[in-house]
Amino acid sequence: MSLKIDLETNFAEFVIDAGEVILGTQQRTDMNPPLLRVKPNENILQAVCALLNSGGGVIKAKIKDEDYNHEIHEVGLDLPPVFEGYLDEMQQGKLFLIFVTSWNTDVSGVPLATLCSNLYHRYRSSNNVMDSHKALIFLKEKTDSSLLSPQEAQAGAHREDDTEDSAAALFDREQLQYLEKLNLTESMHVEFQMFPTALSQCVKERLARCVSALANAEGGYVFLGVHDETHQVIGCEKEKINLSKFKNSVECCIRKLPVYHFCTQRHTTQCSIRFLQVHDKGDLRGYVCAVKVERFCCVVFAKVPNSWQLKANKVKPLTTKQWVDWMMQAKPVRRRLSEMFLEPSLSPSMPPSRTVCTQNLERLKVLQKHYFPVSSHRVAYAPESLYQELCSEHKGLRDLIDREMRPVSRGILIFSRSWAVDLGLKENQGVICEALLISQNNTPILYTVFRKWDERFKDDSMKVASSLKQRLVDTGGYTGRVCIVPLFFQLNPVGTPVTPHSSVAQIYPESYNLTTIQHMETLLRSLVRVLFGFRSFVSEKLGSETWNLLTDQQYELLSKNLHETRQLFVHGLPGSGKTTMALKVMQKIRNVFHCEPHEILYICEKQPLKKFVSNKKICKAVTRKYFMKHDFAEIQHIIVDEAQNFCTKDGDWYKKAKTITQRRKDCPGVLWIFLDHSQTNQLSCSGLPVLSDQLPREELTGTVLHEEEIAP
């Protein structure tokens, strides 16, 4: 059965339907056949693991046992101990819900949740599976040693016992005697196993574990057909075995073991197999199979690591490569975006400078207190000006908000004309406003106020809420329990407001409530990261992700109501982030006006910049020269960048741009012009209107941290 995300749900986040489950330790033992006790709820384990690695969510399962009661009975899921502290459980009649929060690397010490590493190490004479911590240490040691030459690595390996020489001698012997007691014990380098007549699944698995353990350590020998306690030679009777077939299947089993290389040599797992004759009173009785396992250059697994993630709405296993990469954080995983703000040295290839990170952290606090202050004695409305604007535009809104906020004692209600657009989603034209309530002793709530309710809107609003939750975790780096509960309202223009669908709101465990002001502020700082964070251009150059925070001016520029600010001149000095803003505005245009990349035009003077923007695939990008020579029938919106470099040599570009954007009388397009006024050549004709006519106008004065300052 493949686990899928349940799309028909009222939780605004990932919900995995795990089907039917048998809960309770006793109940599972009583089952007939009692296999279920040995085999835990594999489905649920995988779902929990996938959610931990994908930002959290909910698992729903139907309880099979009629009499199961969560108040009395244990859950008995046999989860790995490291998963403790991430789960909350709730029974709703016959439905069992497991709430899973996102994996916390700082607390757990490892970057991802794993059910079993399937990576073995040799401890004395036993093969032990490494837990995630041990596996991480082992992987790190291997990366260091992979830089050494094989000879150096061999020399560095310490040999503690002399069994290896005796084992080598045994491996080379031609003949053994039946029931001969070997002068050799199991050790770091030697393993005895009874000889199976056929390589059953169980024997193969045992061999795989043994080979993984030996190859990851210093190599060694496995003797099949020697009693592991008495050390007596037993062997396999010659009539019962086909030597070449058996050899093939052992080789095949070893060849198939998943490996991962840090080195460039990329050897395969090296083994040699010999059959030693076992004689009884002078006659050939059978064989002992001896396997010599060489020390492996890098990492050998007994099986693919058992770890899961959500992908394309399904619970999917990680491949060995994905697992190691994620463990080593060699690839930019989503979770790292947020850590960039906190931890200065994560990427081995490009450590972001400490100053950037601490500046960001300090600025986060400042921005949060400035834009989203939490009041200790009331509910603050932010931004206050937007709230007043909305109330004057929509009769009845103030009453609705007042009524809803009456029972709330402290917190903050954050208004937006569209949280969807703020999060990079398409605007719903039926929405008057959306407001996010962060309040004490409650979960965050996202209120959506509609002009007129339509059943189809529910999906949109759920999407906004779930996207916000996901972004708070991924981009915002919030590691606590978090959910967003969506509530919908229709604003009735004449009478009292109605609440069409508040009943759909789902109930979360109490641990999801925000308890203190500090708790609320932590969440709000994650929200600042979501709203102010952007990917720096340095990423394009170095292939690594660096996040930065918008300045206040940039944030306010991007918060402008595009319906009302169709035309704008934006003046900014070099380094004030004009091109970044131009890109972000175009993204916003797409979501607000629901248009396609071929309907938005970006014009600049120089080829390299044109190419850079063109690669973003969010608009059509051209140079001014090209713009003057062609028609643009499909274009509705135009963004002009670096206009100080423009000229009228090929014609009046400003007039042409204006004409294009204003040709739709019912809904004129956006025309924003970005320029560095200080660099405008006053003598040559740039084609821009005179300064006093460049209205409305905004200035970007602050400089963002420049690429060069971030790069090492």
**Which amino acids are annotated catalytic?**
186, 191
- Region for 251 from its dihedrals, namely left if φ exceeds 0, alpha if ψ lies in -120 to 50, beta otherwise: alpha
Binding site for Zn ion (CB under 5 A): 261, 263, 297-298
Q: Any alpha helices (H) in 127-181, and if so which ranges? A: 132-145, 150-156, 163-172
Task: Evaluate the CA torsion angle 304, 305, 306, 308 in order and state its sign.
Answer: negative
> Side chain identity at 647, as an amino acid letter?
C
Helices (H), 256-383: 320-328, 336-342, 354-371
**605-613 long-range Cβ contacts below 8 angstroms, 24+ apart:** 605/642, 605/645, 605/646, 606/642, 606/645, 609/579, 609/641, 609/642, 612/540, 613/579, 613/582, 613/583, 613/641
687 torsion bin: left (phi>0), alpha (psi -120 to 50), beta (else): left
Nearest to 442 by CA among 515, 372, 381, 376: 515
- Quote the tokens at residue 500: 């069409």
Q: Is-contact 400 449, C-beta < 8 A?
A: yes
Q: How many CB atoms lie within 10 A of CB 116?
A: 17
Q: Tell the residue number behind the tokens 């059910």, with chain if given.
A: 115
CA 247 to centroid of chain Cα atoms: 43
Annotate 237-273 with b (16+ C-beta within 10 A) or e (fewer).
eeeebeeeebbebbeebbeebbbbbbbeeeeebebeb
Q: What phi and psi values does residue 399 have, to the nearest 5 degrees? A: -60, -45
Are 425 and 463 in contact, with CB atoms under 8 Å apart? Answer: yes
End-to-end Cα distance, the chain: 49
Considering the complex, state which of residue 98 and residue 324 has its C-beta at the smaller distance from Zn ion.
324
User: How many Å apart are CA 150 and CA 140, to the nearest integer?
Assistant: 17
Cα–Cα dist 440/515, whole Å: 5
For residue 203, what are its two tokens? 């024997």
Q: Is 619 helix (H, G, I), strand (E, B) or coil?
A: coil
3 contacts 43 by C-beta, under 8 angstroms = yes
Minimum Å distance from CB 298 to Zn ion? 3
Q: What is the dihedral of CA 241, 244, 245, 251, to 10 degrees?
A: 120
Decide whether 104 or 146 has the Cβ nearer to Zn ion.
146
